[in-house]
Amino acid sequence: MAQLKLKHRNDYVQLFKQVNQPLRQHYQGSARVMFGSTGVGYGNRIAGVEGFARMLWGAGPAIKDLDVAWQNEIKQGLLAGTDPNSPDYWGDLHDRDQRMVEMPPIALALLHHKQYLWQQFTAPEQQQIGAWFSQIFEHNCSDGNWQFFKVLIYQVLQQLGVEVSATAQTDVQAALQKIEACYQGDGWYQDSARGRIDYYTPFAFQYYGILYSVLVPNDTLSVTFRKRAKALAQQFIHFFAEDGANVPFGRSLTYRYAAVAFWVAMIYGNIWPEKTAVIKGIINRNLRWWLQRPIFSESHLLTLGYGYEQLLMTEPYNSPTSPYWSNKIFLLLALPTDHSYWQSDEAPLPDLAATKLLAAPHLLAMHDHGHTVLLNAGQPGPNYHALTNEKYFKFAYSSQFGFSVPRENQLKEEAVMDSMIGLQTLDTTMVANRHGEDVVEPGMFYTRNNVSNVVQTADYVGSTWRVNDKMKVRTWLIAFEGWQIRIHHLVVTEPSLAYETGFAVADSPDNPGTNQTTPTASYFDGPAGFSGIVNLLGSTVEQNDGTIGGFPNTNLMTPEVVALPGRTTVLTPGEHWLVTGIYANADSTYARNKWQQQPIVGLQDQKVSLQLGDQVRELELH
C-alpha cells in the first residue's frame, strides 16, 4: 500500500477501499461495525456505532464509487440504526453522548453528491432518520470541539429539508458562542476551558469550521472561519517534516493520518487555491509516511497505536474502531471530478524558517536537516486525559523519534522519560537489581505536570514547574542552529537527584548501536540515528552518565528497545543552574559532524550568550 500512486481521483478511491473494505467483514447486525477484544469507556455497543459512522467519513464522499452491495449495506444500516423498533437501533441520546461525535459523518454522507444517498429513502424513512439526528438539540454536548456537532447537524438537516424544533436554532447559537470562547488566536483553539491546544485544532475545530463555510457560504461566520483556517495553515505547516512525518504531540494520536485532514479541508473549502500543489504534497507525503508503517493488523484492519499496534499510548475513549477517524482525509472524494487537485502535481515542502514561534500552543518549532522538533513550554491547565505529562509536558517532540510513554515510575528503564527532567528525593528509595546484585536507588520520579509564568520570544520559550514546597524548576528552551539548549534554574530544600534526557532512539538487539559517555556528555549512535546530551557548563557541574535501554513497546515510533542518553546530577539544598545541549538526527553521519562542534554558553544574571562557530546570540531570560 505504501507504493500506491496518489495523483488522480481514482487513486484515492482505491486507497479508501483498501483501508475500509476489511471493515465490512465485521458487521454486528446491520448497523454496527465492531471487532477486537479491548474495552472502551463508552462501551462496545456504542463503539459499534462508531465503527459504522467513521467508515462514512470516507464512504459518504465516495458513495457513488461503491458497488451496489456496499451502498445497500450503508442504506440498511442507516434505516436500522435510526429505527427505535429495530434490534439494531443506535439508541436514544443522553448528555455528553459519544454518539454525538459519530453523527456528523452519517449526516454529511446524506448530503454529498447532491444528496445522492438521502434521495434513495422514502419520505417516512427520511422523517425517521431526521428524528434520530434531532435528539442532539435536546441534550448537552461537552464543551469544546463537540459544540460543532450541533452546528453541523443543524445545517445539514436544514439543507435536507428536515424540520427541527423551534429551540434548535437557539441551541446552535449558544454552541457557536462556546466555540468562539475556545479561540486563542493565529488559527488555534483550546479544546474547552479544561482542555489544551493540540491536533484538535486542525482536525476538529478547523475541519468543522471549513465544512460550515461550505454549507453556509454567505454567513459572516464563514468568512471568519476561512480567515482562521488560512492563519492556522501558516503555523501548522511547522508540524511537518520534508519526509511527510508530522510531529506527535498531545492526545488522540491513534487517529494517525487525520493529521492532514485539515489540509484536505483547505482544498475542499477552496481556502488557498494558489497553494494546491504544496498542500497536495503535504497530504501525499504524510499518507506515504504512514502507509510504510505496520499500522494494520494481519487482517488488514487499522490498529490502536501510533507507529505500530500499541495499547500503552491510547486514551480511555479509544475503541478498536476509533482509528478510522482518519477517514476524514477522504473528504477529497467529494471534490468534483474536474477539480484542479486531481490535475495538480505535488510540490515539495516549502523552505521554512529554521525556527518559528507558535505562541498559542506555547511551542517553538525548529527545523534541522529533515528533522522537525517542537520545543514545548507547556500549557497551564488541569490534567484529566491519559498520560498528560508525556503528551503535553515533555521539553521537546520530534518528527523522527516521537516520544515515549512509561510502564511505571520507578526504574529509569520502564519510565523511559525522554526529553524530560525527572526529580527524585534521596530519602525515597527502592531496591533494584542491577547485574545480579540488589542495589538501593532513589525511587519515584517527579516529572513536569503543570506550568506557570509562561514566557515566549522568537528565540526561546520558558515556564516554571513547581513540584511542591521543596522543589521548583524554571526552564528556558532555546532553539540554536539545530540544537536545543535547555537552561534550568532549580530550587530544592533537601538532597535531590536530577535526571535529564535527550531523545530515545530505536536500538534493536538484532542490529545494535553504541553508547558513549564522557565526563560531560552521553550519546548514542546507531542505525536508527544519533542522540546526544551534553552538560554545557562543563566541569563546574558534576554529573554522571544516566543512559538507559528503555523497555520495548514504550516509544510511539518503534516497538524496539530504545537507547536513551541521559545525565544525572546530585543536588544539595539550595539553588542550582543546569545548562544542557541536546542534538539528535536520524542521519547519523550528519549528526556526528554536528556533534563535533558544540555550542558555547555563557550565563550570568539570567543573561545568556550563545556561540556556535561564527553564529553568536545574546539573550536575556525572563
Tell whether 80 and 47 lie within a shared domain: yes
Rounded to whole angstroms, the Cα distance separating 42 from 317 reads 7
**Residue 601 CB: number of other CB atoms within 10 A?**
20
Tell whether 286 and 416 lie within a shared domain: no
Closest by alpha carbon to 265, among 332, 355, 193?
332
Counted domains in the chain: 2
The answer as to whether 32 is a domain residue is yes
Is pLDDT at 4 greater than 80 in this prediction?
A: no
For residues 3 and 608, the model is more confident at: 608
Nine cell digits for residue 236: 501548522
Bridge-partner residues for 609, per DSSP? 602, 618
Closest by alpha carbon to 387, among 412, 428, 416?
416
**Residue 449 CB: number of other CB atoms within 10 A?**
14
Tell whether 395 and 459 lie within a shared domain: yes
> Strand 544-545 to strand 607-612: parallel, antiparallel, or no bridges (unpaired)?
unpaired
Tell whether 306 and 391 lie within a shared domain: no
**Residue 350 CB: number of other CB atoms within 10 A?**
10
Give the pLDDT of residue 579. Answer: 97
- DSSP assignment, residue 322? G
Tell whether 67 and 128 lie within a shared domain: yes
Helices 261-268 and 207-215: crossing angle, nearest 10°?
Answer: 20
DSSP string, 154-191: HHHHHHHT----TTHHHHHHHHHHHHHHTEEETTEE-S
Give the pLDDT of residue 1. Answer: 59
Tell whether 390 and 499 lie within a shared domain: yes
Is pLDDT at 100 greater than 90 in this prediction?
A: yes
pLDDT band at 53 (very low <50, low <70, confident <90, very high): very high
Residue type, 154: Y
The answer as to whether 442 is a domain residue is yes
Q: What is the mean pLDDT of the chain?
A: 96
What percentage of residues in the chain have a pLDDT greater than 90? Answer: 93
pLDDT band at 363 (very low <50, low <70, confident <90, very high): very high
Mean pLDDT to the nearest integer, 58-87: 98
**Unique residue bearing C-alpha cell 476551558:** 193
Tell whether 336 and 469 lie within a shared domain: no
Give the pLDDT of residue 539. Answer: 80
Give the pLDDT of residue 562. Answer: 98
- Per the CB < 8 A criterion, the answer to whether 47 and 319 are in contact is yes
Rounded to whole angstroms, the Cα distance separating 581 from 485 reads 5
Mean pLDDT to the nearest integer, 85-101: 97
pLDDT band at 74 (very low <50, low <70, confident <90, very high): very high
Tell whether 309 and 369 lie within a shared domain: no
Mean pLDDT to the nearest integer, 367-379: 98
CATH number, domain containing residue 441: 2.70.98
pLDDT band at 442 (very low <50, low <70, confident <90, very high): confident
The answer as to whether 534 is a domain residue is yes
pLDDT band at 85 (very low <50, low <70, confident <90, very high): very high
Question: pLDDT tens across 120-157, in order?
Answer: 999 999 999 999 999 999 999 999 999 999 999 999 99
User: Three-state SS across 202-253?
Assistant: HHHHHHHHHHHHHHCCCCHHHHHHHHHHHHHHHHHHHHECCCCCECCCCCCH
pLDDT band at 427 (very low <50, low <70, confident <90, very high): confident
* End-to-end alpha carbon distance in the chain: 50
Judged by DSSP in three states, 46 sits in: helix
Element (H, E) at 357: strand 355-358
> Strand 496-501 to strand 566-571: parallel, antiparallel, or no bridges (unpaired)?
antiparallel
What is the side-by-side strand order in the sheet with 562-564? 505-506, 562-564, 548-550
Tell whether 321 and 370 lie within a shared domain: no
Tell whether 400 and 266 lie within a shared domain: no
Give the pLDDT of residue 3. Answer: 67
The answer as to whether 609 is a domain residue is no
Give the pLDDT of residue 366. Answer: 98
Rounded to whole angstroms, the Cα distance separating 304 from 297 reads 10
What percentage of residues in the chain have a pLDDT greater than 70? Answer: 100
CATH number, domain containing residue 222: 1.50.10.10
The answer as to whether 3 is a domain residue is no
- Per the CB < 8 A criterion, the answer to whether 494 and 425 are in contact is yes
Query: Hey, what's the torsion of the CAs at 379, 385, 388, 391, to 10 degrees?
Result: -90
**Unique residue bearing C-alpha cell 471487532:** 35
Question: pLDDT tens across 261-299, in order?
Answer: 999 999 999 999 999 999 999 999 999 999 999 999 999
Helices 123-134 and 147-160: crossing angle, nearest 10°?
Answer: 160
Bridge-partner residues for 506, per DSSP? 562
pLDDT band at 428 (very low <50, low <70, confident <90, very high): confident
Question: pLDDT tens across 487-506, in order?
Answer: 999 999 999 999 999 999 99
Cα–Cα distances in angstroms (integers) from residue 124 to residues 29, 121, 365, in the given order: 22, 8, 54
Bridge-partner residues for 433, per DSSP? 438
Name, in order, each residue with C-beta under 8 angstroms of 482's C-beta and a sequence gap of 6 or more.
354, 366, 368, 369, 371, 583, 585, 594
**Residue 407 structural domain:** 355-593
> Strand 188-189 to strand 183-185: parallel, antiparallel, or no bridges (unpaired)?
antiparallel
The answer as to whether 83 is a domain residue is yes
Judged by DSSP in three states, 496 sits in: strand
Rounded to whole angstroms, the Cα distance separating 596 from 594 reads 5
The answer as to whether 613 is a domain residue is no
DSSP string, 391-458: HH-SSEEETTTB-B--S-SSSHHHH--TT-EEEEETTSEEEEEETTEEEEEE---B-----EEEEE-S
- Per the CB < 8 A criterion, the answer to whether 475 and 395 are in contact is yes
What's the pTM? 0.97
Question: pLDDT tens across 568-603, in order?
Answer: 999 999 999 999 999 999 999 999 999 999 999 999
- DSSP assignment, residue 374? E
Tell whether 219 and 286 lie within a shared domain: yes
Tell whether 312 and 376 lie within a shared domain: no
The answer as to whether 602 is a domain residue is no
